[in-house]
Amino acid sequence: MQTRNKEFLLKEIIKILDNNKAKDIVKINLENKSSIADYMVVASGTSSRHIQSISENTIEELKKIGIKGCKVEGKDSENWKLIDATDVVVHVFHHEQRKHYDLEKMWEDILPSQKISV
């Protein structure tokens, strides 16, 4: 995907998460640093129902703007969902799970010169 389109997708995902009341939204630039995606977004939900709602609404809103083929991992999990939007991977955690896995810290250690941003 072209850089402009990737950044558009990233902005749309952050807007969707914000509109769905996701908490503590953080983006991590992985472009040219990882083959898993160009960006990772980490956010929190307040309950298992909220996490489920965020993931379902994100997929639906992306479909509305023409982004199809997104996948959700962790469908059976109450504490975490992963949305694979190809160039952007989104993790939605329950607060305690997010603290436990601490993806921001892990990527900060791997990419120390990069600012993790909200």
pLDDT at 112 over 60: no
Give me the sign of the Cα torsion angle 64, 10, 48, 77. positive
pLDDT at 86 over 60: yes
**Amino acid identity, position 86:** T
| 2, 42, 88, 113 from 91: Cα distances, Å | 23, 5, 10, 22
Structure token pair of residue 46: 């307040």
In a domain, 59, yes or no: yes
Indicate the SS3 state at residue 9: helix
pLDDT digits (tens, 9 = 90+) for 47-77: 999 999 999 999 999 999 999 889 999 988 9
Work out the pLDDT band at 111, boundaries 50, 70, 90: low
Q: What is the CATH number of the domain that holds 77?
A: 3.30.460.10
In a domain, 25, yes or no: yes
Q: What CA–CA distance (Å, rounded) separates 52 from 63?
A: 17
In a domain, 116, yes or no: no
> What count of Cα atoms within 13 Å lies in the side-chain half-sphere of residue 33?
14
In a domain, 88, yes or no: yes
Of 58, 59, 49, nearest to 94 by C-alpha is: 49
Q: What is the pLDDT of residue 2?
A: 54
In a domain, 115, yes or no: no
Name the residue range of residue 44's domain.
Answer: 3-110
Query: The whole model's pTM is what?
Result: 0.85
Work out the pLDDT band at 82, boundaries 50, 70, 90: very high
In a domain, 103, yes or no: yes
Q: How many domains does the chain divide into?
A: 1
Q: Across 3-75, where does the E strand assignment appear? A: 23-29, 39-45, 71-73
Q: What is the pLDDT of residue 78?
A: 92
Residue 59 near residue 27 (C-beta atoms within 8 A)? no
In a domain, 118, yes or no: no
Q: What is the mean pLDDT of the chain?
A: 87
Under DSSP, the state recorded for 117 is B
In a domain, 117, yes or no: no
